[in-house]
Chain A
Amino acid sequence: MKSRITVRPREYHDSVRLMQVSAQVRRLDGVEEAILMMATDTNKKLLATAGLSSMEVQEAARDDLVIGIIARNADGAENAMTRAVDLLRSRTPDLRAVQQMSLGAAVAAMPDATLALISIPGEYAVEETRKALRAGLNVMLFSDNVSLDDEIRLKQLAEQRGLLLMGPDCGTAIIGGNGLGFANEVRSGTVGIVGASGTGIQEIAVQLHLHGLGISHALGTGGRDLSASVGGLTMLRGIDMLAADPDTDAIVLTSKPPDREVAACIIERASACGKPVVVNFLGGDSGAATRAGLVAAHTLSGAAKRTVRLLRPNGRTAPDSAWSDSELRHRVNDVAGLLSPKQVYLRGLFTGGTLCHEAMHVLHDYIGPVYSNIASQSGYHLGDCSRSCEHTLIDMGDDLFTRGRPHPMIDPELRNRRLLQEAGEPDVAVLLLDLVLGYGSHKDPAAGLAETVRDARTRAAQDGRYLVVISSVCGTEQDPQGLARQKRLLADEGVVLAASNAEASRLAGMIIRTAAGRTVEGTSR
């Protein structure tokens, strides 16, 4: 094997483009590994793990590009390096957008622009956002790794100018039927959503679509908007905008657990907005919303269902679950019976942060608290995220995993690797997953996931273990990936598909609880 590493100083390419070129070079004959990355600290570690480190890489700055190749021989490595550089040089001819050199030039060339979508590394995104707001543009700030102080300053600036700032770390928005960032192709309709969570918005929008309703607009706020420091500035503005919007008949609010006082402020504004409002604050106090005359929902799919009941009080809705209660019980017992007595733990690997949060709350009723990199309960926060502990759920889209590399909904490789790692643990019984389709996401995420599941189950079978793999698929048939095909690829590998993330989590919890009961019963004899 021959490796070649090149550092190209001050050459920037976005992480998705680097991922795409890496994949193209990896497919060349004789190439074992090809990694193109900006030289961030996380990426230097990843390169070192792949055996692609050098003094030059260690000394490289975060705006330097590293190209690392491992090939069968020196010629192969050289050819791959040349090909990588050529691919980077070639401008993408298929981009059907006007290209500009700077935000200022774009504003001058497009005076009717209404919104800037910003997804550059967090340390640079603050300045570009400030420029966009000063130019009178609403902003969707997709970037994470933006400080809380910067977020507050930017949101105050937006407020002063009467503009909407969605984010930082805002993954999803739908404006007038158009998806921004990660968004599903859902029906246009009369439900407006304001969400402090990207995949929360996606799951609700998709569930509403599956029930036959549609979305007027979906506004993201960023995950910290409902913290005490930010005070829900974006959610409050979003509620006002949807309240004034003639196309919106009902509003759904969703967030991970908000600060208590901020939640009260949001509920007060929502109850005075003049339209019916469904509130889903995952793990939050639903009593306050109900007392204020709003409709509370505990899960994302539950929020969709309650919205359907509000707008169609006498209408029919799609069934909540893929299975009847008795089918579910049979399924749980059948599957639990295939596990060995040592297999007692659940491992959840999520590309959607809110889906991870929701799973944590749903599972609590079945198996109690679980370890996680996003756990807020003391004692359950995972210190070392590279190793799971007992029942563990990992949000693979956490900042920790996305510095200098694409979000796992775009590049599922880290999740796939982690899946194999978890599947190799002899005490793991159930793997709980999500798969999120739509604009922005990987073009065929089920293909790689199905292949990984096949490998994982084959390896487990070689060790005499049966591995339960459960997933939900957040998507519609109109999404670029196509829901039916994505589901079929997973089902063909024996993945149990649930109708929603909440249902997948319930099923996983029931199987673990049943398996644990059986183990206790077995050992007590």
Chain B
Amino acid sequence: MNKPENDLLNSEICVINVGLQQFAESLAEQSVEVAHVNWEPPAELDPELEQILEELL
């Protein structure tokens, strides 16, 4: 059996919510530490420009 190194289940949960704001509200209601990302669809870039950005980042 693989020994999991992941300590998600043994530590205080702390969440970054990307998407439905309602889910961040539900977590806050349960006193979970949560950050909500005001996500928006990325602008559709010129493929050449996108390639340059991809390489830069």
A residues bordering B, Cβ < 8 Å? 10, 12, 14-17, 63, 92, 94-103, 105-107, 109-110, 112-121, 124-125, 128, 132, 137-138, 142-143, 162-164, 175-176, 178-181, 216-217, 237, 240-245, 247, 269, 272-273, 410, 439-440, 480
B interface, CB within 8 angstroms of A = 1-6, 8-30, 32-43
| Chain B residues whose C-beta falls within 8 Å of the C-beta of A142 in the assembled complex | 19-20, 23
Q: How far is the CB of A235 from chain B (nearest CB, A)?
A: 13
Q: Is the CB of B23 within 8 A of A181?
A: yes
Q: Nearest 6 CB-CB pairs, A to B?
A: A119-B19, A96-B28, A439-B26, A97-B36, A97-B24, A63-B41
Of the residues B29, B33, B39, contact of A439 by C-beta under 8 Å: B29
CB–CB B23/A440 < 8 A: yes
Residue of A96, A98, A138 touching B25 (CB-CB under 8 A): A96
Are A115 and B25 closer than 8 Å at their CB atoms?
no
In the complex, the chain A residue whose C-beta lies closest to that of B32 is A178
Question: What is the CB-to-nearest-CB distance from A228 to chain B, in angstroms, rounded to a whole number?
Answer: 21
In the complex, chain A residues whose CB is within 8 Å of the CB of B14: 110, 112-115
Quick check: A245 and B10 within 8 Å, CB to CB? Answer: yes
Asked if B13 and A106 make an inter-chain contact with CB atoms under 8 angstroms apart, the answer reads: no
Q: In the complex, what residues of A have CB within 8 A of residue B22's CB?
A: 16, 410, 440
Q: Which residues of B contact A180 (CB under 8 A)?
A: 15, 23, 27
- Complex: A118 Cα to B41 Cα, angstroms: 13
Given contacts A180-B27, A243-B1, contact A17 B21 (CB under 8 A): yes
Provide the residues of chain A in CB contact with B4, threshold 8 Å: 162, 237, 240-241, 244
A439, B30: Cα distance in complex, Å: 9
Give the Cβ gap from A19 to chain B, nearest Cβ, in Å: 10
The residue among B23, B29, B32 with the most chain A CB atoms within 10 A of its own CB is B23
Contact A124 B6 (CB under 8 A): no
- Docked Cα-Cα span, A125 to B39, in Å, equals 11
Determine how close the nearest CB of chain B comes to the CB of A404; give it in whole angstroms: 12
On whether the beta carbons of A117 and B28 are closer than 8 Å, the reply is no
Contact residues in B for A16 (Cβ distance below 8 Å): 20-22
Complex: A142 Cα to B9 Cα, angstroms: 19
Q: In the complex the two chains form, what is the Cα distance from A17 to B38 in whole Å?
A: 12
Q: With A12-B40, A95-B36 as known contacts, state yes or no: A114 contacts B8, CB within 8 Å.
A: yes
Q: Are A117 and B15 in contact (CB under 8 A)?
A: yes
Chosen A-B contacts, 13 in total, with CB atoms closer than 8 Å, are A100-B35, A100-B38, A118-B18, A118-B19, A120-B18, A132-B16, A142-B23, A180-B15, A180-B23, A180-B27, A216-B9, A240-B1, A480-B29
Question: Are A273 and B42 touching (Cβ within 8 A)?
Answer: no
Q: Are B25 and A114 in contact (CB under 8 A)?
A: no
Q: B residues within 8 A CB of A96? A: 25, 28-29
Cα(A164)–Cα(B8), bound, Å: 8
How distant is the Cα of A181 from the Cα of B11 in the complex, in angstroms? 19
* Given A14-B21, A98-B36, A440-B23, also A117-B16 (CB < 8 A): yes
* CB-based contact B27/A217 at 8 Å: no
The answer on a CB contact under 8 Å between B28 and A241 is no
Complex CA distance for A112 and B34, rounded to whole angstroms = 11
Which residue of B is nearest A183, CB measured?
B26
Q: Which residue of A lies closest to B25 (CB)?
A: A95
Assembly CA distance A116 to B37 (angstroms): 10
Nearest-Cβ distance from residue A236 to partner chain B, whole angstroms: 8
B2: nearest chain-A partner, CB-CB: A240
A120's partner among B19, B24, B25 (CB-CB below 8 A) is B19
CB distance from A521 to the nearest CB of B (A): 52
With contacts A124-B41, A138-B8, A163-B6 taken as known, whether A119 is within 8 angstroms of B20 at the C-beta atoms is yes
Q: Distance in Å from the Cβ of B53 to the closest Cβ of chain A?
A: 13
Expressed in whole angstroms, the Cα–Cα distance for A228 and B30 within the complex equals 37
Min CB–CB distance A32 → chain B (angstroms): 27
Could you tell me the distance in whole angstroms from the C-beta of B13 to the nearest C-beta in chain A?
5
- Complex: A106 Cα to B33 Cα, angstroms: 12
Q: How far is the CA of A128 from the CA of B24 in the complex (A)?
A: 17
Asked whether, in the complex, the Cβ of A10 is within 8 Å of the Cβ of B35, the reply is no
Q: In the complex where A98-B36, A163-B6, A439-B30 touch, is A116 in contact with B1 (Cβ < 8 A)?
A: no
- The reply to whether B36 and A100 contact each other, CB–CB distance below 8 Å, is yes
Measured between beta carbons, the chain B residues less than 8 angstroms from A125 are 19
Name the residue of chain A whose CB is nearest to the CB of B5: A162
Tell me which of B1, B12, B21, B36 contacts A272 (CB under 8 A).
B1
Measured between beta carbons, the chain B residues less than 8 angstroms from A100 are: 16, 35-38
